[in-house]
Chains A and B, each alone.
Chain A
Amino acid sequence: MFDEDEIVDDSLEPETVQTASKNEVDSELGQTRMEVAYGAGDGDDDAKAVVARKASMGVLYEQIYRPWNGQLGPRWVRNYAIFRHHVYGIFSSKGHRHYNPFVRLSILVIFLTSLTPIAMIFLSVTISGGEGSDWLNRMWGVNRYNLWGQVLGYFPRNLCMWPLLTALVVGGMISDDRKNGTSAIYFSRPVTRTDYTAMKYLSSAVVLGFVIVFSYMLYYTSAIVFNGEGWAYLIDTLPMFLGGLLAGILLVITYTSIGMALSSVSQSRFFAAIGFLAIIFGTKIVALMIELIFETTIFYILSPYDSLAHLGQWLIGIPANYEHSLALSIISVIIYNAASVGLLITRVRSLEVTRE
């Protein structure tokens, strides 16, 4: 299977004008090459000597390449084409970036799993009244902890779902182009490297955001709709919802940054994917181990997940699990993003348009 990115925006194609200079074959006297070669024309005519007076064997097409003088679409239109190419690929491979069916399946499964609280809220509404409903609502209903957990909970979301999702989606974004040399398709067109990187970044972030942030918004909205909550409820819970939303967006941005940076330094999507999983899982588990043995939480600042979780706890307004200062976690998130984006930009800037 080809994984190459294909350009989709037709408006970018330079126009080629073909004019056929019609040196007609003299039908009376000449014969086409095939007829001469096999001594057989249409069937019954004898192979006899025919002297060609003017024998022009075939037709030459004159190739005239005229510069395309049309209006170049605005930059955002061109960029949108790149963006669209990557995002639509999740739904249909036709003319869009090819996502492995397994990746698409994983996105679907992870998305559906992240919607389970909605089913639980729905269940609690349908069996309304009684212990069971109450319990379901307490376990899965909207509160600070559940809003935090919907994006930043460790098990299962940040242990099984988000890192795998990021690894699968972002892993090949740039490394595939490096491996196949398909970045040439972009760089031979009026697309700057910045546009290229930014659009790749944005499309990955949108795919992740669709699963992580959109499911979070769905969860909150459906809780309001199913429980028939009023404006007062909305006013009460909106600040924490917005806090969680911000935390979710930060998570998506941070994961995308790290994933894209790894993708830009690898030549294989799997190396980038494994590298991402190793960073997310490794830093967390080592920090946990250090906390248990040496009784300090400071090493959690090395873990992108924990820094985000710490920040998220503050944004939503629940007590922090970490003893170190929030500022350190914020700095860690910023450094992770800055270093990743910096690496990404340097790598793409020096990307050689070859098959590596």
Chain B
Amino acid sequence: MSTKPTPAVLLQNCSKWYGQVIGINDVSLAIDGGVTGILGPNGAGKSTLFKLLMGRLKPSSGNVRLFGVDPWQSTSPYRRVGYVAETEKLYDWMTGHDFVSTLARLHGMTREEASDRASHVLEFVGLADVQNKEIGKYSKGMRQRIKIAHALVHDPDLIILDEPLHGCDPIARTSIMSVIRDLGSQGKTVLVSSHILDEIERITEQIVILHNGRLLALGNLHAIRDLLDKHPHRIMIRTENPRKLAEFFVPEDPVYGVRFSQEGALEILTNDLSAAHDVLPRVIVDSGLKISSIENPDDNLEALLGYLVGGA
């Protein structure tokens, strides 16, 4: 089963537009194995992508294949797919266990099987103690986790999570993240979308960046980062006398500008981060000033996306 001839997710020149509005624009993509983060601001086409994969929408052009099958035509690949929709509504009158086991029965399980599996996944997502409470009484984090639980109940090979961390508090977020990481380490293909990049960074290094329906970048986070080296970077140095320190940095080659954005801090602007880091210790020693910290504020996904979006 693990030697699949086709990738779990395959999009070929796929476009989807709603009237005049473009949801997905000529995206080609193949994903198989591991956790992949789908990044993009709101309206980038993340949900459209997922809905195409789940056969909710019909591609306007191009092909979508889920385990080699067109999901618009056939529901058969859903046996191997778990989908966490972004919708907030749940059957509030059901208990968590009921919800998961009822949906498990839609996979053709018997009542008993479904109940066993439901207990098992609820345990896995950490809802075992509240599984007999009504969903209406759940907190936001619990609701997200019950949605994940229903998607996992049939032990799928591919799990698609649409904004699973949306609106959760840090504690819930951490526990959901660890669930997702666990799934990845079990060798499943996991797609997670988010517009909060810090979250994705904590889950995976493998990312897909979407913006305005176009595929902006695909691959390892750091590899992408290196490809983008031409873009400016910042190094933030905290010191007692930033203006004095600036005088030492300005003549250096990799540095093309400095800025005093905060009290007691110097921002060095550079196009070549590694070169800048090379000169950094020398300049600091030369200046003889006390440095309290050195930060790379751009070395996160937030900034990455900002550059990609702004510069692309």
Provide the residues of chain A in CB contact with B271, threshold 8 Å. 39
Q: Is there contact, CB below 8 Å, between A49 and B250? A: yes
Within A57-95, the residues touching B (CB, 8 Å) are 57
Question: Closest chain A residue to B303 by CB distance?
Answer: A37
Chain A minimum-CB-distance residue to B267 = A36
Q: Which of A31, A48, A57 contacts B261 (CB 8 A)?
A: A57
Which residues on A sit within 8 Å (CB–CB) of B311? 38
* Structural contact, B261 and A49, CB atoms closer than 8 A: no
B261 contacts across to A, CB distance below 8 A: 55, 57
Say whether A50 faces chain B, with CB atoms less than 8 Å apart.
yes
Which residues on the B side are within 8 Å of A52 (C-beta)? 259-260
Given B250, B255, B269, B310, which contacts A36 in the complex, CB threshold below 8 Å? B269
- Chain B residues, CB < 8 A from A47: 256-257
Cross-interface CB contact of A37 among B232, B255, B258, B260, cutoff 8 Å? B232
> In the complex, what's the smallest C-beta–C-beta distance from A20 to chain B, in angstroms?
22
Counting chain B residues whose Cβ lies within 8 A of the other chain, the interface size class is 10 to 19
Q: Return chain B residues, CB-CB under 8 Å to A57.
A: 261
- A55 — which chain B residues lie within 8 A by C-beta? 259-261
B232, B246, B256: the one contacting A48 at CB < 8 Å is B256
Q: How far is the CA of A31 from the CA of B256 in the complex (A)?
A: 13
A55 vs B257: C-alpha distance when bound (angstroms): 13
Interface residues of B in 266-284 (CB under 8 A from A): 269, 271
Which residues from 31 to 45 on chain A have a C-beta closer than 8 Å to any C-beta of chain B? 31, 36-39
Contact between chains at B258 and A39 (CB < 8 Å): no
How distant is the Cα of A36 from the Cα of B234 in the complex, in angstroms?
Answer: 11
Known A38-B311, A39-B271: A50·B257 in contact at CB below 8 Å: yes
Please give the distance in Å from A211's CB to the nearest CB on chain B.
36
Asked if A292 lies at the interface with its beta carbon under 8 angstroms from chain B, I say no
Q: A38-B311, A57-B261 are in contact. Are A51 and B250 (CB under 8 A)?
A: yes
Closest-CB distance, A60 to chain B (whole angstroms): 15
- Nearest CB of A to B160, in Å: 28
CB-nearest residue of chain B to A50: B257
Query: Which chain A residue lies CB-closest to B251?
Result: A49
- List residues of B (197-233) whose CB comes within 8 Å of A's CBs: 232
By the criterion CB–CB under 8 Å, are A51 and B246 in contact? yes
Give A39 Cβ to nearest chain B Cβ, in Å: 6
Q: Tell me which residues across on chain A come within 8 A of B260, comparing CB atoms.
A: 52, 55
Cβ A49 vs Cβ B232 within 8 A: no
The smallest C-beta distance from A202 to any residue of chain B, in angstroms, reads 35
Per-position binary interface string of chain A over residues 17-41, scored 1 when its CB falls under 8 Å from any chain B CB and 0 otherwise? 0000000000000010000111100
Task: Answer whether A51 and B256 are a contact pair too, CB < 8 Å, given A36-B269, A37-B232, A38-B232.
Answer: no
Q: How many Å from the CB of B161 to the closest CB on chain A?
A: 26
User: Across the interface, which residues of A come within 8 angstroms of B269, CB to CB?
Assistant: 36, 39
Taken residue by residue from 298 to 312, chain B's Cβ proximity to chain A (1 for < 8 Å, 0 otherwise) reads as: 000000000000110
Chain A nearest Cβ from B260, distance in angstroms = 6
A36 to B250 alpha-carbon distance, docked (Å): 14
By the criterion CB–CB under 8 Å, are A49 and B259 in contact?
A: no
Rounded to whole angstroms, the CA-CA distance of A57 and B232 in the bound complex is 18
Shortest Cβ distance from B252 into A: residue: A49
The closest CB in chain B to the CB of A30 belongs to B259
Q: Which chain B residues border A37 with CB–CB below 8 Å?
A: 232, 310
- Whole-angstrom CA separation of A57 from B311 in the bound complex: 20
* Residue of chain A at shortest CB distance from B269: A36
Q: Which residues does chain B contribute within 8 Å of A48, judged by CB atoms?
A: 256-257
Within 8 A of B (CB), among A104-163: none
Give the distance in Å from the alpha carbon of A38 to the alpha carbon of B261 in the complex. 17
Residues of chain B within 8 A (CB-CB) of A50 are 257
Which residue of chain A has its CB nearest to the CB of B249? A49
| Cα–Cα distance between A342 and B258 once the two chains are bound (Å) | 72
- Complex Cα distance A55/B269, Å? 15
Q: Are B258 and A51 in contact (CB under 8 A)?
A: yes
- Alpha-carbon gap, A277 to B260, bound state (A): 72
Give 1 or 0 for each of B237-258: 1 = CB within 8 Å of chain A CB: 0000000001000100001111
Distance to closest chain A CB from B302 (angstroms): 14
Of A38, A47, A51, A55, most buried by chain B (CB within 10 Å of CB) is A51
State in angstroms the CA–CA spacing of A37 and B231 once bound together. Answer: 9
- Which chain A positions have C-beta within 8 A of B310? 37-38
Chain B, Cβ-Cβ closest to A48: B256
A281 to B286 CA separation, bound complex (whole angstroms): 94
Max chain B C-beta neighbours (<10 A), residue from A31, A37, A57 = A37
Q: Tell me how far the C-beta of A160 lies from the nearest C-beta in chain B, rounded to whole angstroms.
A: 37
In the complex the two chains form, what is the Cα distance from A68 to B258 in whole Å? 46
Give the complex CA separation of A48 and B259 in angstroms. Answer: 12
> Which residues from A are CB-within-8-Å of B250?
49, 51
Q: Which residues of B contact A39 (CB under 8 A)?
A: 232, 256-257, 269, 271
Residues of B within 8 A of A38 (CB): 232, 310-311
Q: How far is the CB of B98 from chain A (nearest CB, A)?
A: 23
> Nearest residue in B to A46 (C-beta to C-beta)?
B256
Least Cβ distance of A339 to chain B in Å?
A: 31
Bound together, the chains give a CA A37 to CA B250 distance in angstroms of: 16
A49–B246 CA distance with the chains assembled, in angstroms: 10
- Give bound CA distance, A47 to B258, whole Å: 11
- Which 3 pairs of residues, A with B, have the shortest CB-CB distance? A49-B250, A47-B256, A49-B257
10 A-B pairs, CB-CB below 8 angstroms? A36-B259, A37-B232, A38-B232, A39-B256, A39-B257, A47-B256, A49-B250, A49-B255, A49-B257, A52-B260
Binding site for B on A (CB under 8 A): 31, 36-39, 47-52, 55, 57
17 additional A-B pairs beyond A48-B256, A50-B257, A57-B261, beta carbons within 8 Å, are A31-B257, A36-B232, A36-B257, A37-B232, A38-B310, A39-B232, A39-B256, A39-B257, A48-B257, A49-B250, A49-B255, A49-B256, A51-B246, A51-B250, A52-B260, A55-B259, A55-B261
